[in-house]
């Protein structure tokens, strides 16, 4: 059974806030804020909690943009609910787990992000909703196959 996780992206004008992961799964990669959904939490609650823990912001408005299934050869599976937020209180600040930085949406550091991000993040930034599945090789980085669909 897939572990439920979230990814949320803070957006302002033509910029997106990404965090450099400093420890744990995905260390050394830029990503949105997010993490595990704990028992008793909705994905929305988890996205808000993770944004507070990782970026020090309180998300006020969340837009659901779909979900992605990540399936790894070692049996690890994640079901990730994807969100964007244009409204929050506080300024993204560095914490123990992530160091946030603003990027122009047309100049993202894909070479330092998860290999799948370039295949779906542009759709999210275009305002689309998606349903996707990514299958990864033994190295947990190389995509063996994938499917990205726009949904309503």
Structure tokens at 139: 């190295």
| Segments forming the whole domain that contains residue 97 | 3-151
Beta strands in 22-142 (DSSP E): 30-31, 33-36, 58-72, 77-89, 98-104, 129-136
Structure tokens at 87: 């409204």
Q: Which residue, among 1, 11, 142, has the nearest Cα to 82 in the 3D structure?
A: 11
Ranges of the chain with pLDDT below 50: none
CATH (domain of 26)? 3.90.79.10
Confidence at residue 101, expressed as pLDDT on a 0 to 100 scale = 98
Number of domains observed in the structure of the chain: 1
Confidence at residue 102, expressed as pLDDT on a 0 to 100 scale = 98
């Amino acid at each position: 059974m897939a572990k439920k996780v979230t990814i949320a992206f803070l957006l302002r004008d033509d910029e997106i806030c990404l965090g450099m992961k400093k420890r744990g799964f995905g260390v050394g990669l830029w990503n949105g804020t997010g993490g595990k959904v704990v028992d008793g939490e909705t994905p929305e609650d988890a996205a808000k909690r993770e944004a507070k823990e990782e970026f020090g912001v309180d998300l006020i408005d969340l837009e659901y943009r779909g979900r992605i299934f990540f399936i790894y050869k070692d049996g690890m599976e994640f079901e990730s609910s994807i969100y964007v937020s244009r409204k929050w209180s506080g300024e993204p600040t560095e914490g123990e787990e992530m160091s946030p930085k603003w990027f122009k949406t047309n100049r993202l550091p894909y070479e330092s992000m998860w290999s799948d991000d370039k295949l779906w993040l542009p759709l999210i930034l275009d305002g689309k909703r998606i349903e996707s599945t990514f299958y990864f090789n033994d190295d947990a980085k190389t995509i063996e196959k994938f499917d990205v669909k726009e949904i309503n």
